[in-house]
Amino acid sequence: MTQDWGQDLYDLAVVALGRVGTSQHGRLDAASQTLQQVHLLRVPKASSTSMSAVARRLVGCRPPGPCCKYPGDPWGSCPNKALFMCEASGKVVGCTDHYANPTSLRDPQVPTVSMMREPTARSVSAFFYGGAHNTECSFNGGGGNGRGITSRGGRGAGLVLRLAASGGKSKANGLPPSIGTGVNSTAEWVACLHGYAAKEKYRDIVTRMLHGHYAYADTPEAQLCNPSSNEKGKCDKALAQAVSVVGTVGSATVGASSSNVFMGVSELYELSLLLMHVHLATHSEAAPPPDLREFRGSSGSGHARKHFYSGLAGASNSNNSGFRKNPSPEYAAFKARVESEEGYLRLFEKLNPLDSALYLHVCKNLCSTVHELGMHKLPVLQRYWTAHFPLLRAPTAAWVPGNGTSAGTSGSRSPGPSTMDLATCELRSAQ
């Protein structure tokens, strides 16, 4: 029997709100109490669509659903024009796109909510999603219909690889020409991957956003440091500032960090929702109670959550063909190799030494909050943590403040996959 984590974690959220002294627990009418404004820090490929739906509910926007601008990108992914009004009115700052708002990040009266994801996995996902997440090359297999319709509306030959550096344009659709689906395609894809991994704008994007920059900003001031060069001091300072924005659990009210910023992790999505509500309740008396539909809708893949929230907004999921898909078997084989082979994963790992350190800090914050709430001994939470906490390929890939080392620069690596022990909130071998 499949565990209903959504119901279980929602029930724990209700209990936790009671433990931190709020009178909200047990109340399900989300419209009865709302925040005036919230800042959403939308980390790309880290449950940002789902979190936009949560953010809209926190400020009482209708209809329920994700924040998006009709008809969406990819086309068809935004089912309702009213879903953009919450951002247009200023109630959710940063509800679409991936721009941080420096003023909101520093404002103690405006809570910031966000999720991040294990950095290597997030980078791999962004690389294959294309669009703004990968302007070096975009893969498209027909927008889910298999007819070669690209995200820009042109028609391809079933598989189109747009190489930004090529400059070549097809007379038929204005896009760079297809490179085909033969054996030479893999070589082109590998070359593109190396080009992507060499770009500074794809490096440590969560750390960059916590400094107030656009996720993929390529301006000089947005390039915080280069860990592979002689910039140890700059990297230490950049990471320290990001950590200070997120805050550290244990220095404030029970269940809250020292910051008005809540950062969860996608891999522990339901638990992150639970702790987000506790965090908001300890910072604002106007924070609304949790909503069971969001906990239940969180189960499954990102696409499943997107369908769930689109359904709340009154859209027919069967009519949404906007997801970026590629039916080519050659492409599927290449993607599987990148997601599993060490050599490819190292390329993405080297892009994220600061984000890897930040991710561990955020996970430790979540674990520490569970301890402060006295829930770390509950069997249901222990089972959830064991089932969902991601295996960390190389935790020593994280930036080590003070000595300027990381797996991406020093060659130091853990002997095997690691996880975080819920009992101690420390890393241990998963073997």
Q: Is residue 46 part of a domain?
A: yes
Whether residues 357 and 259 share a domain: the answer is yes
Contacts with 220 (C-beta within 8 Å, 6 or more apart), sequence order: none
Asked, for residue 370, whether it belongs to a domain, the answer is: yes
Say whether both 113 and 142 belong to one domain: no
Q: Is residue 129 part of a domain?
A: no
Do the domain assignments include residue 340? no
As beta bridge partners, residue 408 has none
Query: What beta strand segments (E) does 100-252 contain?
Result: 112-116, 137-140, 160-163
Same domain? 184 vs 242: no
Residues 100 and 146 in one domain: no
- The model's pLDDT over 43-83, given as tens digits with 9 standing for 90+, comes to 999 999 999 999 999 999 999 999 999 888 777 778 889 99
Segments forming the whole domain that contains residue 280: 5-117+231-323+353-391
Listed residues 198, 218, 247: the one ending a domain: 198
Same domain, 146 and 249: no
The answer on 15 and 72 residing in a single domain is yes
The per-residue pLDDT for range 405-424, each reduced to its tens digit, is 553 333 344 456 889 999 99
Same domain, 247 and 384: yes
Helix/strand/coil for 90: coil
My answer on whether 370 and 259 are in the same domain is yes
- pLDDT for the residue numbered 176: 32
Residues 63 and 164 in one domain: no
Which whole number is the average pLDDT over 134-150? Answer: 49
Question: For residue 200, which of 221, 169, 175, 184 has the smallest C-alpha distance?
Answer: 221
- In contact, 265 and 116? CB cutoff 8 Å: yes
Contact 60, 34 (CB under 8 A): yes
Q: What is the pTM of this model?
A: 0.83
- Do the domain assignments include residue 279? yes
CA distance 271 to 8: 10
In this prediction, residue 147 has a pLDDT band, given cuts at 50, 70 and 90, of very low
Q: Please say which residue of 152, 183, 198 terminates a domain.
A: 198
**Residue 424: inside a domain, yes or no?**
no
Residue 17 lies in a domain: yes
Q: Is pLDDT above 90 for 163?
A: no
Can you tell me the mean pLDDT for 229-243? Answer: 87
Asked whether residue 46 falls in the same domain as residue 93, the answer is yes
Number of structural domains in the chain: 2
Instruction: Identify whether 186 is part of a domain.
Output: yes
Is the same domain home to 194 and 255? no
Main-chain dihedrals φ then ψ at residue 93, nearest 5 degrees? -80, 130
The pLDDT, as a whole number, for residue 330 is 81
